[in-house]
Amino acid sequence: MALITCEKATFAYEGMPVVKELDLTVEKGQYLCIVGENGSGKSTLVKGLLGLLRPVGGRVFYGDGLKQTQIGYLPQRNDHQTDFPASVWEVASSGCRGLWMNATKRKQIKELLELLGVAHLEKRSFARLSGGQQQRVLLARALCATTSLLLLDEPVAGLDPVVTREMYDAIRMLHKERGLTVVMISHDVQAAMQEADHILHLSNSGSFYGTPFEYRHSDLGLAFFGGCCCHE
């Protein structure tokens, strides 16, 4: 069942269309990676899927009872996040939008922190954590808002290779064991091909949507990989 559907959706950045007439269906249980060159509209599209940016053409609608406020979102890392003056618990619990902090919700937050291996840090200052620990706390924050759909914007940017692998493992676990639908922007195309079941490649000259196998042999995929992918 489709959670999000784009019909000829066009999104603009600073008045200029960057995602043009996109047809896209995000199905329940899917793991979709969005790739493409810088400036191709990846982050703009995510803002559109979140409802933070209205399409200037076409439309976006939600299915299976999904509301925009029930989408978990992990934005790109920035200095404001890393220097946030709060405890781990305060950051994670801030994802519970519009909900009273009752015993059930406290238990849920505790379980999410435990699931992501950072429960022992709940009283620590968020700003004093490592980059990988911060991302896990922010992922717990995103999970507080959703039981169905998780949007991730470059979740491993700036992380070292070991922590990157751990982050991918955590996302895969959430997808396979918790049944979350995952939509992830990534510059790591090789990892996207390994992790996702569908690829959306945005380009100024068009777009591609399909399985990793189909992408590997598509014109955009061949151009992006310089032809190397077809030897796998």
Q: Which of 101, 93, 57, 50 is nearest to 75 (CA)?
A: 50
**In which residue ranges of the chain is pLDDT below 70?**
79-84, 97-100, 225-232
Q: Which of the 8 DSSP states describes residue 176?
A: H
pLDDT score of 187:
87
Q: What is the pLDDT of residue 123?
A: 93
Q: Please tell me the pTM assigned to this model.
A: 0.89
Supply the pLDDT for residue 80.
Answer: 59
Structure confidence at residue 207 (pLDDT) = 86
68 in helix, strand or coil? helix
Q: What is the DSSP letter of 126?
A: G
* Beta-bridge partners for 209: 200
Share of the chain above pLDDT 90, in %: 60
Run of H or E residues at 8 = strand 2-13
Domains along the chain with CATH numbers: 1-66+183-232 (3.40.50.300)
Q: Quick check: 84 and 127 in contact, CB under 8 A?
A: yes
Count of other CB atoms within 10 angstroms of residue 25: 16
Rounded Cα–Cα distance for residues 179 and 168 (Å):
15
Contacts of 163-172 with C-beta under 8 Å, sequence gap 24+, read 163/130, 163/131, 163/132, 163/135, 164/188, 164/191, 166/132, 167/132, 167/135, 167/136, 168/195, 170/116, 170/136, 170/139, 171/139, 171/195
